[in-house]
Amino acid sequence: MAAIADLARCEAGGIVFRVRLTPRGGRDSIDGVGRDSAGLAHVAARVAAPPEEGRANAALVALLAEALGLPRRAVTIRSGQQARVKLIQAEGDAEALAERLAALVTKP
Q: What is the pTM of this model?
A: 0.92
| Distance from chain centroid for Cα 42 | 8
Length of the chain: 108
pLDDT at 48: 97
Give the number of other Cβ atoms within 10 Å of residue 106's Cβ. Answer: 11
Q: Does residue 41 have a pLDDT over 50?
A: yes
Enter the CATH code of domain 2-106: 3.30.1200.10
Q: Which of 33, 65, 32, 27 is nearest to 47 (CA)?
A: 27
Specify the pLDDT at position 6.
80
The per-residue pLDDT for range 43-89, each reduced to its tens digit, is: 999 999 999 999 999 999 999 999 999 999 999 999 999 999 999 99
At residue 18's C-alpha, the angle toward residues 28 and 52, to 5°, is 50
3 pLDDT more than 60: no
